[in-house]
Amino acid sequence: MDSLEKQLICPICLEMFTKPVVILPCQHNLCRKCANDIFQSSNPYLPTRGGTVTSGGRFRCPSCRHEVVLNRHGVYGLQRNLLVENIIDMYKQEYISRPSPEQKADQPMCEVHEDEKINIYCLSCCVPTCSMCKVFGAHKDCEVAPLNSIYQTQKTELSDRIAMMVGNNDRIQGIISQLEETCRSIEENGRRQKSKVCEKFDHLYAILEDRKREMNVKVNAEQEEKLNYIRRLTRKYGDHLESMAKIMETGIQTLEEPEMAVFLQNTKPLLQKIAEASNTSHLERVERGYENMDHYSVSFKREGRALRNIDFARDDDDDEEEEDEEEVAVDADSRAGQTASGEVDSLNEEALPPLLPPQPLSTCRPGTSS
pLDDT in tens, the chain (370 residues): 566 777 788 877 777 888 888 888 888 888 888 888 777 777 766 655 555 545 567 888 888 888 888 888 778 888 888 888 888 888 877 765 555 554 445 678 887 777 777 878 888 888 888 867 766 677 778 888 887 778 888 888 888 888 888 878 878 888 898 899 999 999 999 998 888 878 876 776 777 677 778 888 889 998 998 899 889 889 988 988 898 899 888 889 888 888 888 888 888 888 888 888 888 777 788 888 888 888 888 887 887 787 677 543 344 555 555 565 565 455 545 544 544 444 434 434 444 444 334 444 343 444 343 3
Q: What is the pLDDT of residue 105?
A: 53
Q: What is the pLDDT of residue 204?
A: 66
Q: How many CB atoms lie within 10 A of CB 105?
A: 9
- Is the Cα dihedral 89, 93, 94, 96 positive or negative? positive
Q: What is the pLDDT of residue 98?
A: 59
pTM of the model: 0.30
CATH architecture entry for 1-97: 2-Layer Sandwich (3.30)
Q: What is the pLDDT of residue 366?
A: 41
